[in-house]
Chains A and B, each alone.
Chain A
Amino acid sequence: MKYFNNPEAFIRLVLSMQDGMTATLTIFALTLVFSIPLGMVIALLRMSKHRVVSAPISLYILVMRGTPLMLQLFAVYFAIPMFFGVNLDRMTATILAFSLNYAAYFAEIFRGGIMSIPVGQYEASSVLGFTPVQTFFHIVLPQVVKRVLLPVSNEVITLVKDTSLANIIAVSELFRAAKNEASRVASVEPLFVAGLFYLLMNGAVTLFFSWLNNRFAYYKD
């Protein structure tokens, strides 16, 4: 042990991995920012009555959930420049691939939530004169949020750990930084520091979701 028994060296080690932590947090945060709204849009399109809309969306969800995220990362990073002639930097490619992938998972969670809302809620809204848009945003969506908190928290926890996949297209996120540092100093301890950081992030995620859960506990459905 070089670091875990020496607070000063430990802090220096953590600081040397700071950029990696920032990159990991960035991938995490931006993926959520893009994939949650996108997931809602995909869920609604998936539920369209028109098969020309719902069928391609089903295929999209199948591909995104049915192939490895690692492969999708490669595909976005290498195939997009090849076919579209635009170069994506590593970070952009990562966030794009992650957002497209997680949106598919969120879409299915949201779809399940929307379908679980009793038809009577729509009928009451209609009789009271709400437009479909008012019904969705004021009646359906708030109830869906409460119902999907648990599965969404599962996805978010998985995302924290999945950010480490970005190292395969050489994004300098935390896992890569830890690997590099481990070989530089010939110790596995940097990897444990990374592990600790993922654990702390997920501790925060867990706290956040239990707070949200409490905020929605004011009614039972």
Chain B
Amino acid sequence: MLQVQNVAKAFGTQDVLRGVSLRVSRGEVVAIIGRSGSGKSTLLRCINHLETIDSGSIIIGGEAMAQSDASGRAVYKKDAELRRICLKMGLVFQDYNLFPHYSVLKNLVMPQVMVLGRSRAQAKEKALALLEKVGLADKADEYPCNLSGGQCQRVAIARALAMDPEILCFDEPTSALDPQLTHEVLSVIRQLADEQRTMIVVTHEMNFARDVADRVIYMEDGVIVEDGPAQQVLGSERSAAVRAFVGESGY
């Protein structure tokens, strides 16, 4: 489904990703954990083409978004094709990034109409079904500024789902929320996991990672240090590096 091969990325002289490789298969839920600054967001942003990689390959559903040439430098697909491949990915941000000038419903309808060319009626039907799913059917006509953080994040999840991504990514979706609201967002993600959706979730919620993820990846300084079944990476046999990190994060 997703193949990331030997990806490197630097900001100026700072190497942020140093040869990251990972595979995600259909229906898998992967949690990425690690200290702040270890490159988790940058990795997700590269997969969603918000950053460009310097070298390595990113292959989504068998199609290369970027592929390294003979010298190892990453070469990206051209505009329209690149945009089409990127549509297989969805991303939910930490701070939601809803469109404030659109109602909740329009936040979900407009992208479907403008990007996927769906009819308004079709898009609206899909949007309402998704709002129902995240428990916000009654907020369709509200504006984002009138919603709580947890509600905004659930709208953002519904908006991402409306585009039918093959893989949905989350970058610390609950970091801006207090515990009560965190719970309502996590239970939506948990529900998506039960539906066998392919997801990559960067998170600080260790309990969530252990309970919901099939696999846990631990990153440190731009490299993947651990990658395995949740029970193995976070369980009693966990490595010294993960033990130290988990100890710091109070789990």
Give chain A's interface residues, CB within 8 Å of chain B: 118, 120-121, 123-124, 126-131, 134, 138-139, 142-143, 146, 218-221
B159 within 8 Å of A by Cβ?
yes
Of the residues A129, A143, A219, contact of B115 by C-beta under 8 Å: A129
Of the residues A120, A129, A131, A146, contact of B101 by C-beta under 8 Å: A146
User: In whole angstroms, how far apart are the Cα atoms of A143 and B100 in the complex?
Assistant: 8
**Nearest CB of chain A from residue B83's CB, rounded to whole Å:** 6
User: In whole angstroms, how far apart are the Cα atoms of A138 and B111 in the complex?
Assistant: 10
Can you name the residue of chain B whose Cβ is closest to the Cβ of A123?
B50
**Are A127 and B91 in contact (CB-based, < 8 A)?**
yes
Known interface pairs A118-B97, A127-B91; 9 further A-B residue pairs with C-beta atoms within 8 A, sorted by A's residue number = A123-B93, A124-B97, A130-B111, A142-B101, A218-B143, A219-B144, A220-B100, A221-B100, A221-B101
Residues of A within 8 A of B159 (CB): 128
**Are B115 and A128 in contact (CB-based, < 8 A)?**
yes
**Are B100 and A134 in contact (CB-based, < 8 A)?**
no
**Are A134 and B114 in contact (CB-based, < 8 A)?**
yes
Of the residues B86, B98, B100, contact of A129 by C-beta under 8 Å: B86
Residues of A within 8 A of B91 (CB): 127
**Are A221 and B145 in contact (CB-based, < 8 A)?**
yes
**Nearest CB of chain A from residue B178's CB, rounded to whole Å:** 21
**Nearest CB of chain A from residue B61's CB, rounded to whole Å:** 15
**Nearest CB of chain A from residue B168's CB, rounded to whole Å:** 11
Of the residues A128, A138, A218, contact of B163 by C-beta under 8 Å: A128
User: In whole angstroms, how far apart are the Cα atoms of A124 and B101 in the complex?
Assistant: 14
**Are A127 and B101 in contact (CB-based, < 8 A)?**
no
* 8 Å CB interface, B25-53 against A: 48-50
Can you name the residue of chain B whose Cβ is closest to the Cβ of A128?
B111
B213 within 8 Å of A by Cβ?
no
User: In whole angstroms, how far apart are the Cα atoms of A128 and B159 in the complex?
Assistant: 9
B89 within 8 Å of A by Cβ?
yes
**Nearest CB of chain A from residue B146's CB, rounded to whole Å:** 8
B87 within 8 Å of A by Cβ?
yes
Interface 1/0 per residue, B198-211 and A, CB below 8 Å: 00000000000000
**Are A220 and B145 in contact (CB-based, < 8 A)?**
yes
Task: Please indicate which of the listed interface residues A129, A130, A218 has the most CB atoms of chain B within 10 Å of its own CB.
Answer: A129
**Nearest CB of chain A from residue B127's CB, rounded to whole Å:** 13
**Are B97 and A123 in contact (CB-based, < 8 A)?**
yes
Residues of B within 8 A of A146 (CB): 101
Residues of A within 8 A of B48 (CB): 127
Residues of A within 8 A of B166 (CB): none
User: In whole angstroms, how far apart are the Cα atoms of A133 and B235 in the complex?
Assistant: 49
Can you name the residue of chain A whose Cβ is closest to the Cβ of B84?
A129
**Are A120 and B49 in contact (CB-based, < 8 A)?**
no
Task: Please indicate which of the listed interface residues A127, A131, A134, A142 has the most CB atoms of chain B within 10 Å of its own CB.
Answer: A127
B95 within 8 Å of A by Cβ?
yes
